Amino acid sequence: MKDTVKKVSYKATGSSKKTPTKIVEHIFSSDLNSAIFSHIFRYFKIYSSKFEHKSDFELKRDSEVLLNYENEAIDEESEIEPVQEETIFRIYHRPNLVEELVSPCACVVHHDLNDPSDAFDIKKYLDKYLVSDLVICLNKTQEKILNGLGVLKTVVIPHGYNKRLKNLKPSPKTENSKFVLGLFSKRYGRLVKGEAFLYELAMNLSPDSISFMLIGDQRAIDGEWLISMGFDVIYGENIPYPVLCKSYNDIDALLITSISEGAPASVPEALITNTPIIARPVGMIPDVFAKGSCGLILTDNAETDAKLIMYFLKNNMDESKKFIKKNKLVYSWKEIISKYEDSINIVLGNE
């Protein structure tokens, strides 16, 4: 890997020189067109306390702005003072898209290592993971797989929850009202979120007892199908995040039918709102369920799972809610960013 480098910029100012800003560069290697990447990076901006976090695009933009500034006429009375920005660490979010890592650095594993998609073939990532100073996993399953492949410099730092979720109060249930299952995720063309299994489940559940709330891009497709099957359904696409947060008030359990997941982000959101989870054992689901009964893990047999879901909702849901409320199962994004920065300092030898 290459060694780290310093970048020097300039600004017109009369102030005294300052200590170089310590920059942690987040390398996305592609436009920030991923909603989850954009959200995560925003939390680094808000909650960082030890470093300044910038994306590779920000640093490129800053360099272009500086170049344009230096080429312009400068007032004779202005002082040109160097402002040093030292990139001391890099975090690669898509390491498969770079030719070479620059040390010291970390790679983040955002995807399910068991995902069969060619885009996530482990061979496209492994050489980078092996030479990275640290590999940050979202769950213990990822860490176990990588350790077995010889990637030993690992740490598990999951997704966090937005603080606005912590004080939500559930909407009152009316007597004889139906149980509401929420599915909060974008729909992808390759159906990785488990739409086929969702449909199988629905065919074994009763519209007299169950209703659905679906939130996410293209969820109208599934919403209309469920309505055609006789279910009461509320669905929404392009929902603002504050509205999504409040929607946890209106569901009895979060349903995750995904075939593969890195996290997903909805897990900490659900748990901090005392919402039980009904899910396949993907992503961080095994990690949180290892701490106790957070809900129900599905068996992948739709007929059996439909019966288990109804039994859980009628008999075990309240106990799960009590357990979730009593125990610290997830962390806020402020705590998560602190864990990142602590890990960076350990790699740098500062702790």
Domains in the chain: boundaries: 6-160+333-348, 163-326
Query: Helices 195-202 and 302-311, interaxial angle, to 10°?
Result: 70
CATH architecture of 6-160+333-348: 3-Layer(aba) Sandwich (3.40)
CA–CA separation, 138 and 121 (whole Å): 18
CA–CA separation, 246 and 273 (whole Å): 10
Considering just the CA atoms, what is the radius of gyration of the chain in Å? Answer: 23
**Of residues 136 and 4, more confidently modeled:** 136
**Of residues 216 and 64, more confidently modeled:** 216
Q: How far is CA 71 from CA 11, 57, 64, 82, in A?
A: 13, 21, 11, 16
How buried is residue 147: exposed, middle or buried, by Cβ count under 10 Å (0-12/13-18/19+)? Answer: middle
pLDDT in tens, 300-325: 999 999 999 999 999 999 999 999 99
pLDDT in tens, 246-286: 999 999 999 999 999 999 999 999 999 999 999 999 999 99
H/E segment holding residue 308: helix 302-311
Tokens standing for 225?
């199908």
Provide CB contacts within 8 A for 289, sequence distance 6+. 281, 295, 297
Q: Rounded to two decimals, what is the model's pTM?
A: 0.88
Question: Whose structure tokens read 């059996």?
Answer: 304
- 182 pLDDT higher than 70: yes
Query: Domain 163-326: which topology?
Result: Rossmann fold (3.40.50)
User: What confidence score (pLDDT) does residue 197 get?
Assistant: 98
Check if 6-160+333-348 and 163-326 are the same fold: yes
CA–CA separation, 283 and 296 (whole Å): 15
Q: Are 169 and 249 in contact (CB under 8 A)?
A: yes
